[in-house]
Structure 1
Amino acid sequence: MKIGNSPSPDGSASPAKAERATARKPEAAATETIRQAASAPAASAQVEISSAAKLAASAGADDGSFDAAKVARISQAITEGKFTINANAIADKLVANAQELLDSRANKH
Structure 2
Amino acid sequence: MKIGHSHDASASPPKAERSATRKTEAAATAATETAQQTAKAGAPAPSAQVAISSAAKLAASGGSDDGSFDAAKVQRISQAISEGKFTVNANAIADKLVANAQELLSARANKH
Which of structures 1 and 2 has the larger relative contact order (alpha carbons within 8 angstroms, sep 6+)? 2
Larger Rg belongs to = 1
TM over 0.5: no
TM-score, normalised via structure 1 length: 0.41
